[in-house]
Chain A
Amino acid sequence: MTTPTTTQQKENLSQPDPSQQPITADVIDATAKMQAINVDAWFGQKQILKTVNLTVKPNSVTAIIGPSGCGKSTFLRCFNRMHELVSNSKMAGQILLDGKNIYDRQIDPVQIRRRVGMVFQKPNPFPTMNIYDNVAAGLRLTGTKKDKNLDDIVKHSLEQATLWDEVKDDLKKPGTSISGGQQQRLCIARAIALQPEVILMDEPCSALDPIATAKIEKLVIELKQNYAVIIVTHNMQQASRVSDYTAFMYLGELVEFGETRQIFENPKNKLTEKYITGEFG
């Protein structure tokens, strides 16, 4: 966590330390790429997540849906230890990456954020950098120097983000000079460049038009060939189009989790039914 205040330190003492909690072997899903086990999260005294459990399979897209304020973005940020960057935040429970608790004291959060990349709601290319440098920035920070290898990674990342053909002649232009949809794909390329294992997406299309949205959705499906993707979305149709699994959250709890087809055709929980059919939200 970022330099906690004295008050925070006191609060933290009253909460379980996620790095010290034992993992019970029988709850670990050996087939999972990531697994959330009994995750609680707070902002100050307000509990945002309540004993949330979720399994993320490799090479799959998992959508997290739910009304505003249900905790889905907070939950997403727990998967790469970004929640703890918010002041006054707390977290309990475990998040496993390949069976290892990412909150373990020996684990470097920066390494976790490299292995678990994130794409945000609003495209946020570095405003002072050109397209090339936006993609290369993370690599340079982690020690990759300007050479043929860096060029190859930038090209490959832009190709994977289906942006290469559109920007290959404009790599020196500012990252902010391209359209919103292109900027979002640039941010995806930036995340891919670090060769993560999991990509988190927090409403990546909410600021995009339908054409740009369609491109991102197609990209999400392509990305799962190489990564596990977790996407938070308010758009039910988007969740049903792109995801293999869907989790429905309400008031900080995971109400229902299952294969997307089952959730959208025959949800088991009445709350899920009411939410996805638009009876509340």
Chain B
Amino acid sequence: MTRLIDVVLEDQSVLLYRMGELTYQTLSLSIRAYIDGLTVQNQVRDMSDRLMIMAEKVEDRTFELIARFQPVASDLRTIKSYMKISYDFARYGRYALDISFINDQLNGLKECNSDMRTFVEKMSAKVLQMVAISIDALHKLDINLARSISQTEQEVDQMYIDHLQKLFDEELTNSKCILSSTLMARYLERIADHAVYVCESILYIVTGEKNKLR
């Protein structure tokens, strides 16, 4: 039996999936531009703003759903999680904007050696993979896929720690490179965290359990 709430929930689901697609495009663009030294700040800002507007729409619909339908059980968990995920997606957008900012202000990787470039490329690939998993797992409500994100998150965390250690150990003198790469690594690590949050929300929607994947 189709319930009245199902129609609005479906709209919410579609909106969230569109957010997911835009999120991935925004991050891909921003990260690629950082690695290649291209200026995309205006474009990324526009995309990030759109994500914020979409997140607000999800929030508005959440309150509408609660007010009109008094959801419980899986409906309630879904609605609550959708709002949380929309915030995570909006955060992806803001980190994409931050990355485009350090690209413009600190010359991206132009002042860095090839090792640093390789490191950023490798970490970026892992993080984009995590973002893709989080979006795909949400679309399919696939808890196994959601759980699979854990391993990559640990690898990303380790890469971030290794990067900081390297800065301590090696006598690097190029302050722009140090600052740029460290901020980039930090943003990537935070994006990875949000990918994990999205996957935790998916587990909560499906199982009702509040599991930590980190």
Contacts and interface: CB of A to CB of B under 8 A. Distances in A.
Interface of A: 236-237, 240, 264-267, 272-273, 276-280
A280 B1 CA distance: 8
Nearest to B80: A265
Contact of A273 (B5, B71, B73): B73
Contacts of B75: 277
B73 A277 contact: yes
B70 A266 contact: no
Contact of A267 (B1, B71, B73): B73
B76 interface: yes
Given A236-B70, A237-B70, A265 B76 contact: yes
A272 B73 CA distance: 9
Given A240-B72, A276-B73, 19 more contacts: A236-B72, A264-B72, A265-B72, A265-B73, A265-B77, A265-B208, A266-B73, A266-B77, A266-B208, A266-B209, A273-B73, A273-B74, A277-B3, A277-B72, A277-B74, A277-B75, A278-B3, A278-B5, A279-B1
A36 B1 CA distance: 35
Nearest to B72: A264
Contacts of A267: 73
Contacts of A279: 1, 3
Contacts of B208: 265-266
Q: For the complex, would chain A's binding face be called helix, strand, loop or mixed by DSSP majority?
A: helix
Contacts of A240: 72
Interface residues of B, number: 13
A169 to B, nearest CB: 38
A265 to B, nearest CB: 6
18 contacts: A236-B70, A237-B70, A264-B73, A265-B72, A265-B76, A265-B77, A265-B208, A266-B77, A266-B208, A266-B209, A276-B72, A276-B73, A277-B71, A277-B72, A277-B74, A277-B75, A279-B1, A279-B3
Contacts of A277: 3, 71-75
A264 B76 contact: yes
A279 B77 CA distance: 16
A278 B74 CA distance: 12
Interface string B1-32: 10101000000000000000000000000000
Nearest to B3: A278
Contacts of B209: 266
Interface string B44-75: 00000000000000000000000000111111
Nearest to B71: A277
A12 B189 CA distance: 72
Nearest to A280: B1
Nearest to A279: B1
A279 B3 CA distance: 7
| 7 nearest CB pairs, A to B | A266-B208, A264-B72, A276-B72, A237-B70, A273-B73, A277-B73, A267-B73
A264 B77 CA distance: 10
Contacts of B3: 277-279
Contacts of B77: 265-266
Nearest to A264: B72
A245 to B, nearest CB: 16
A278 B68 CA distance: 14
Nearest to A266: B208
A48 B3 CA distance: 30
A273 B71 CA distance: 11
Nearest to A265: B76
Most interface-central of A236, A266, A267, A272 (chain B CB within 10 A): A266
Nearest to A274: B73
Contacts of B5: 278
A267 B72 CA distance: 9
A271 to B, nearest CB: 11
Nearest to B69: A278
A237 B77 CA distance: 16
A236 B3 CA distance: 16
Interface string B200-214: 000000001100000
Nearest to A239: B72
A246 to B, nearest CB: 11
A133 B11 CA distance: 58
Contacts of A265: 72-73, 76-77, 208
Contacts of A272: 73
